[in-house]
Amino acid sequence: MKKINLTLFFSTLSILSFSQTVDMTGRKVFDQIFDYSSNKEFVASQYTDVKGSPYFSDKWLNGKVFLNDQTWFDNLQLKFDQYNNSFIVNWHDTAFQISSAVKQVVLYRASDTLNGLVFRNGYAVNEKINKKIYLQVLEEGKISFLRYRKKEMNDYAEYGDATKYKRFEEVNRYFIFVDGDFKRDNFNQKEFTGCFAR
């Protein structure tokens, strides 16, 4: 009887210790960026005087995160900060910024879990758009089409008001890579309409 109890104890212990190695915080993949106890997002509070949002969606979206070592996490609540080109995950009611160790992020709109938006780093265009920047993969193969989803903070004035205000404006750039090497950019959205409407 004692042998059976010891066997059960060590079996349970080995299962629990394995689950800790897959835990996101245990792998140090994410860095905590704010505390939910104040019920206010740390990132959003930086832009209180700016019209619009730095996020792709203000709501948490369901998604997947893939690491360089092919480990992946499913059913996560994610936001994409287009101003800083970073992803934020809601993990047990605490927000963590995803590190550059994450190779790929897939976002799903609403309950659609088949047609996700794929974002991947590892592509280099220039010093600003380097291998740490996440680009949306529109089509992948020998010839890959990528979109750089970016929000910029710009000044604007309202009619009859001399005060300068700030707002987020979306600026997208498109790229072609052939066999993983950058070939062309400066496409506009009309050139992709119909083929890559995502």
Structural domain boundaries in the chain: 28-191
DSSP H helices in the chain:
2-22, 42-45
Q: Could you report the per-residue pLDDT of 89-121, keeping only the tens digit for each?
A: 888 887 888 877 788 999 998 777 778 999 999
Q: Using CA atoms, how far apart are residues 176 and 187, in angstroms rounded to an integer?
A: 9
- pLDDT value, residue 83: 93
Q: What is the pTM of this model?
A: 0.72
Query: Would you say the C-alpha torsion 158, 163, 167, 169 has a positive or negative sign?
Result: positive
Q: What is the pLDDT of residue 112?
A: 73
pLDDT tens digits, 7-42: 544 454 444 433 333 455 554 555 545 444 444 455
Looking at the predicted structure, is the pLDDT value of residue 177 above 90? no
Alpha carbon distance 9, 20 (integer Å): 17
pLDDT bin (cut points 50, 70, 90) of residue 141 is confident
Alpha helices in 23-159 (DSSP H): 42-45
pLDDT at position 45:
59
